[in-house]
Amino acid sequence: MKDNIKYEHHKFIADKGQNPLRVDRFLLNFIEFATRNKIQQSIKSGNVRVNNLVVKSNYKVKSNDIVTVVLNYPKLKNELIPQNIPLNITYEDDDFLIVNKNAGMVVHPGFGNRDGTLVNALAFHAESLPNMGEEDRPGLVHRIDKNTSGILVVAKNDMSMNNLAKKFSERNLDRRYIALVWGNLKDNNGTITGNIGRNLKNRKIMDVFTDGDYGKHAVSHFKVLERFGYTALIECKLETGRTHQIRAHFKYLGHPIFNDSDYGGDMILKGTTFSKYKQFVQNCFKICDRQALHAKSLAFKHPSSNKEMFFDSDLPKDMKELIEKWRKYAIHKSL
């Protein structure tokens, strides 16, 4: 390798409960934006090791295996540019800050989004933020999707980064989301369990795999807050934090999030065939032109004081209007 070229270096430790899984499929679960061809090329080049030994693509990763990979062509990176972008910071101290992200804002730079992200704004707001080995994600302990609104915690020093990252890893916190989903759920409370991994045909979305040999263990708890007949307002508590977890889990349950274009929620899935109803739903799509999902609250113990902290946020205007429109429709329909 030439010293002046940056390559992607990754290290993963397989979970204790990891079932034997081909190393190429294992890496596809963990490396965002990676393709099967890209990983296969790295394996052929001898750049994938398990427990410090070079392996072939058919090697089966087992419990506690240490997998390292150097992807065999450079990842294009640009210097992170601080940008004076307004942020809704609802709490801040020496250790962390809480930001209420608007829908439509990308959290960190990536392919096609080198600037204008939350991280660009954070780099302007704070001179120095810690990172967990990823230069373009300083301060980030967790993420939410571009078109999901709501609360994020951002670490301001190494101590808080390590402390908060451990809380997320060990599930020692409380995260709750509010969503409008299609359909009238059978139960008022429930738990969705199913491994989540990248769709085998479309790498941009996730799927739920129930056989346990693909994806990462994921658990979502929910309760119904209000029923509108053809849709329902739910609160979701995450036990794990996988990419697109709520969106994939509710599609798997048969109740995709309203207007979630990636998971089939942008079609009229429930209701009548009357033209007035179709127009009503189309108007709802216009009111909330993204998935109706909001990261509502976050609770954890303070990294320094160990004091219980709780942060809550109001629903954004588009979701408030959407919910009220469905509420009025449900009342009118019942008369």
Q: Which structural domains are found in the chain, ordered by start?
A: 9-70 (3.10.290.10), 89-169 (3.30.2350.10), 174-334 (3.30.2350.10)
Query: What pLDDT is recorded for position 74?
Result: 47
Bridge partners for 257 per DSSP: 181
Phi, psi of 61 (to 5 degrees): -70, 135
Taking phi first (over 0 means left), then psi (-120 to 50 degrees means alpha), and beta for anything else, what does residue 145 get? beta
Residues of the chain with pLDDT below 50 are 1-6, 73-76
Query: What pLDDT is recorded for position 237?
Result: 97
Query: What pLDDT is recorded for position 7?
Result: 60
- 3-state helix, strand and coil shares in percent for the chain, rounded to the nearest 5: 25, 30, 50
pLDDT per position as a tens digit, 162-192: 999 999 988 899 999 999 999 999 999 999 9
Phi, psi of 77 (to 5 degrees): -130, 140
Query: What pLDDT is recorded for position 9?
Result: 78
Taking phi first (over 0 means left), then psi (-120 to 50 degrees means alpha), and beta for anything else, what does residue 74 get? beta
CA distance 29 to 90: 34
Query: What pLDDT is recorded for position 135?
Result: 64
CA distances from 94 to 158, 160, 168, 233 (A): 11, 9, 20, 36
Query: What pLDDT is recorded for position 76?
Result: 44
CA distance 73 to 32: 15
H-type alpha helices, the chain: 23-30, 36-44, 118-125, 158-169, 245-253, 275-287, 317-334
Q: Is 314 a catalytic residue?
A: no
DSSP structure class, residue 316: P
Cβ pair 58, 43 in contact under 8 A: no
Show the tokens assigned to 84. Answer: 């004076």
User: Catalytic one among 24, 65, 95, 145?
Assistant: 145
Whole-prediction pTM: 0.78
Query: What pLDDT is recorded for position 245?
Result: 96
Task: Give every CB contact of residue 155 below 8 A, 6+ residues apart in sequence.
Answer: 95, 96, 129, 130, 139, 140, 141, 161, 164, 165
Bridge partners for 232 per DSSP: 181, 227
131-138 CB contacts, 8 Å cutoff, 24+ apart: 131/161, 132/161, 132/165, 135/77, 135/80, 136/77, 136/80, 136/108, 136/109, 136/110, 137/108, 138/80
pLDDT per position as a tens digit, 303-332: 999 999 999 999 999 999 999 999 999 987
